[in-house]
Chains A and B, each alone.
Chain A
Amino acid sequence: MEEIILLKRKATEIRMELLKMIYEAKTGHTGGSLSNTDILTVLYYKIMNIDPNNPNWDERDRYVQSKGHAVESYWAILADKGFFPKEELETFSQFNSRLIGHPNNKVPGVEMNTGALGHGLPISVGMALAAKLDGKSYRVYTLMGDGEQAEGSVWEGAMAASQYKLDNLVAIIDRNRLQITGSTEEVMGIEPLGDKWRSFGWEVVEVDGNDIEQLVDVLSNTPATSGKPTMIIANTVKGKGISIAENQVGWHHRVPTKEEYEEAIKELSQQLEVLV
């Protein structure tokens, strides 16, 4: 089977897994986890140089999930990659579980604790700068939300990445156009987003963030420009893959009912059937 199909199948399976986690735990950030699933799938199954058996390997690529709340797809992928046993996913959000509602670096494969927005980029700038100082070739990837762009610390990090010419840094914005209160442009407009990042000295590339093929293409060709950090604005659909949740602000952290869950799994199974 060709690679793109396999990646698409993987993303669909991850969606099924994360929905199960959220449905069983009765908590979770459904919309954002579904919108970022394709991005994470391409990073973890195609792009990043990582070793689940040696999660702290010095030369590994780093991933910092700045939009920490959309963690369910991340847990599902780390488990599937073998960073921890898959059965542990059943403990998601349960008492004293390490699989909490935000990335937790007590879990192998997670670099940093995140959850407070606007932190991931400055951290990633530090990691990328360390690689430059040490002459190491690893890359640093960070995923931000679009609502997160209102945090001032994002732009502090943006300036520093450009100042230090961190072309080993790739930031991705999950541009699903919705945040908890409503559309990003109503809550606090961020457009023209690409121009903002360009004016901060970044090379900006826009893609369909739910299109595996486009993501593979763009992420395989970084830095987009040598000497500059790369910003990938990934235009996504919040709630992607499940018709009732797609582009619905109410699904930011809504938990599906039994009927909705069964319907969603059916829908994803059908998507999987045609991916051959």
Chain B
Amino acid sequence: MKNVALKATPGNKIANRKVISDTLLELGKKDRDILVLTSDSRGSASMVQFGEELPQQIVEVGIAEQNIVGMASGLAHSGKKPFVASPACFLSMRSIEQIKVDVAYSRTNVKLIGISGGVSYGALGMSHHSLQDIAVTRAIPGLDVMLPADRHEAKKMIEALVEYERPVYIRIGRNPVEDSYVSEDYEFEIGKAVTMREGTDITIIATGETVRVALDSAEALEEVGVSCRVINMHTIKPLDEEAIIKAAKETGKIITMEEHSIYGGLGSAVTEVVSQTCPIPVKVLGIPDEPAITGKTAEVFKHYGLSVKNAKAIALEMTSR
């Protein structure tokens, strides 16, 4: 297996939103049907430069999340390729009916980018956290759900999505996230999980910003003689069931890690598959059913056990070492 995972964290300073904006700018210059829609979110989506260079391809909708999704569906229906860039907390909640009906049910080619997702708004509190978005969006027929692990994956994901004529919800964080991949030199395929690291004793399945934590946890486990596989489930839907079943059969134990409620997200998706095909122990790590504590992402992750220390302890317990 080609090694795609980066071992050490080098201190990346580039946020996924910036990479997404740069990628859309580059692609938008070649394809005039690519549009970016913002809800007074041009700055927080890092879309200022896109708007300056392609003023005809940015549509400002104002603080109106229902309208932004409705308009995007109308634009898509007329042949445009709209990318809505709006805070995940509002996009996935305020406009969920437009997402369900105008986008998913009507089958319009709208890409919904939930920016500043998870707990990345930190101290702003539950109104601004989006920790239910995966649960809500993955329950909608016809809507795919994706979370890039780092800037390399964010770029490859957007490039793939421009060519992908289906509705998709993409969730990214606000701040730079440490790299999980060595480079862009790996194969990205929608719906196909990436095995970041092989392992035989246990598997950690992670998505989005927790992939880095999973890799670091596997590294720490290796030091104590536990072989931990790491699967990056960048596409929550359609779910790569094959990778999950393979991990269940080959490693016998799974831990899931996500920046999301423990209800309805990646952990639920994995247990739905495992319990019906290859029942083995699964431990779901995420945010408990409470208004999440406020603080920086790393602090919140640590508080709720989305940490190397906790994952290692659980893995050792599950493997009885």
Residues of chain B lying within 8 A (CB to CB) of residue A127: 74-75, 77-78
Residues of chain B lying within 8 A (CB to CB) of residue A159: 62, 64, 67
Taking the closest CB of chain A, its distance from the CB of B104, in whole angstroms, is 9
Residue of A62, A113, A134 contacting most chain B CB atoms (<10 Å): A113
Closest to A125 in B: B71
Residue of B62, B74, B97 contacting most chain A CB atoms (<10 Å): B74
Residues of chain B lying within 8 A (CB to CB) of residue A130: 74-75, 77-80
- Are B70 and A123 in contact (CB-based, < 8 A)? yes
**Chain A interface category by residue count:** 20 to 34
- Are B78 and A156 in contact (CB-based, < 8 A)? no
CA distance A118 to B102 in the complex (A): 11
Indicate whether A153 sits within 8 Å of B106 (C-beta atoms), given known contacts A116-B97, A123-B74, A130-B74.
Answer: no
B101 at the A interface (CB under 8 A): yes
Q: Which residues 54-75 of B have a CB within 8 angstroms of A? A: 56, 59, 61-62, 64, 66-67, 69-75
Residues of chain B whose beta carbon lies under 8 Å from any beta carbon of chain A: 35, 56, 59, 61-62, 64, 66-67, 69-80, 82, 97-98, 101-102, 105-108
Partner of B61, one of A62, A116, A152, A160: A160
Taking the closest CB of chain B, its distance from the CB of A153, in whole angstroms, is 4
- Are B70 and A153 in contact (CB-based, < 8 A)? yes
- Are B97 and A126 in contact (CB-based, < 8 A)? no
CA distance A115 to B97 in the complex (A): 11
Taking the closest CB of chain B, its distance from the CB of A122, in whole angstroms, is 3
A119 at the B interface (CB under 8 A): yes
What 3 A-B pairs come out closest when comparing CB atoms? A126-B74, A122-B70, A130-B78
Partner of B70, one of A58, A133, A134, A157: A157
Indicate whether A153 sits within 8 Å of B66 (C-beta atoms), given known contacts A119-B101, A122-B98.
Answer: yes
A206 at the B interface (CB under 8 A): no
CA distance A116 to B106 in the complex (A): 12
CA distance A118 to B67 in the complex (A): 10
Q: Which residues 105-142 of A have a CB within 8 angstroms of B? A: 105, 111-116, 118-119, 121-131, 133-134
CA distance A246 to B53 in the complex (A): 57
- Are A129 and B62 in contact (CB-based, < 8 A)? no
- Are A160 and B77 in contact (CB-based, < 8 A)? no
* 24 examples of A-B residue contacts, CB within 8 angstroms: A113-B101, A115-B101, A118-B66, A119-B70, A119-B97, A119-B101, A122-B70, A122-B98, A123-B70, A123-B71, A125-B74, A126-B74, A126-B76, A126-B78, A127-B75, A129-B75, A130-B75, A130-B79, A130-B80, A131-B78, A134-B79, A156-B64, A156-B67, A160-B61
